[in-house]
Amino acid sequence: MRGGDVAERGAQILVLCGTWVGYEQPGCKGEQYVFEKGEYPRWDAWTNSRRSDCIVAFRPIKVDSQEHKIVLYENPSFAGKKIEITDDDVPSFHAHGYHEKVSSVRVQSGTWVAYHYPGYRGYQYLFEKGEFKDCAEFGAVLPQIQSVRRIRDMQYHPRGAFQPST
């Protein structure tokens, strides 16, 4: 990744390999931004949020599984209605019949990024394998997630298509 330790509004970010997460606060805290291989020429190319306009910390994301399974729960401590997603991206929970809030999450395998709004928009929340008993544990102020996608270990093919790494 190029762009230095700090990316501010107007800064260009170039990810040469791997997947990274950037944070708005030191110590990998605050709003999260997921960066996959590619170029992010402007601030609005890497965020849908208007809450923050800088990144002060980065860390690589470990993608340790080709299989993906996540369970999102309506209430804290894994209670209430749930939606279970296996090996699929979901651009809208509402379109899949899930109209509840998301207050707790269990990631059984894979690495995921969830979004505040449908269509992979709004605040981003990175989920790696583990349990998140309430929304504060995954960095959310409100228990609202409306779309989710997998982060896959992919290598960029010279002709422009993505190919799984071997």
Counting every residue written for the chain, the total comes to: 166
Q: Which residue has the tokens 């923050």?
A: 52
Write out the H or E segment, with its range, that includes residue 45.
helix 43-46
Asked whether the beta carbons of 30 and 23 are under 8 A apart, the reply is yes
Residue type for 78, please? F
Single pTM value for the model: 0.77
Model pLDDT, residue 164: 39
Q: How confident is the model at residue 15 (pLDDT cuts 50, 70, 90)?
A: confident
Question: CATH 2.60.20.10: which residues of the chain?
Answer: 7-60, 69-151
Instruction: Output phi, psi for 113, to 5 deg.
Output: -125, 125
Residue 37 pLDDT > 70: yes
- Tell me the CA distances in angstroms from 12 to 2, 42, 84, 145, one per residue in order: 8, 6, 36, 28
Domain 69-151 architecture:
Sandwich (2.60)
* CATH number, span 7-60: 2.60.20.10
Strands (DSSP E) contained in 94-161 are 104-109, 111-117, 121-127, 130-132, 147-151, 154-156
Asked whether the beta carbons of 103 and 134 are under 8 A apart, the reply is yes
- Residue pLDDT, tens place only, 110-166: 999 999 999 999 899 999 999 999 999 999 999 999 999 999 865 433 333 333 334
pLDDT over 70, % of the chain: 78
